[in-house]
Structure 1
Amino acid sequence: MTPIESPCILVCSIDMATGYCFGCGRTREEIGAWTTMTPQARRETMAELPARMETMERRPRRETQRARMARERDLAQD
């Protein structure tokens, strides 16, 4: 089985002004349909994501899972 390419970075927080995810730039609908989209449709969507990310004015307030894990790892090393 071939893994599906995804822009997900485990942020998963939607900007209410644009409807885009702060982490990847996809809409809720695109996120939900991602596994059923054709590889070509996923590539086309991914090509649009950098421009979408530029339209968001702020970043999410909550700590992401990835950031929390990195912080906890750093604390454990001290």
Structure 2
Amino acid sequence: MQTPCIHLCSLEPSTGFCAGCGRTLQEIGSWTSYSDTERRRIMELLPARLAGAATLSNHMKTNLAGGPERPL
């Protein structure tokens, strides 16, 4: 069975997606009961979810820092 899990399991509170694979807690818990078609459909969504989560995370860091991030 194909899985997007990369063993970096951490749910992002701002999105509800796993930081490693991009799935929701519901999707992770139900993964083995989904059909191959349903798993493929979800996996097609994951790159956009992860990209959106990264954008949101960067936006939140910028706002918390009071401006654009600066290298140390």
RMSD of aligned alpha carbons: 0.9
Structure 2 counterpart SS, 1:55: helix
5+ unaligned residues in a row in structure 1: which ranges?
59-78
**2:7 is the counterpart of 1:10:** yes
5+ unaligned residues in a row in structure 2: which ranges?
59-72
- 1:55 positional shift: 1.4
Structure with higher RCO (Cα < 8 A, 6+ apart): 1
Matches within 5 A, 1:26-37: 26-37=23-34
Report the TM-score, using the length of structure 1 for normalisation: 0.68
How far apart, in 2, do the equivalents of 1:12 and 1:28 lie?
Answer: 10
Runs of 4+ in 1 over 2 A off after TM superposition: none
In the alignment, which of 43, 46, 61 is matched to residue 46 of structure 1? 43
Larger proportion of helix: 2
Cα offsets for 1:29-48 (capped at 9, x unmatched) = 00000000000000000000
Report the TM-score, using the length of structure 2 for normalisation: 0.74
Paired residues, what number? 55
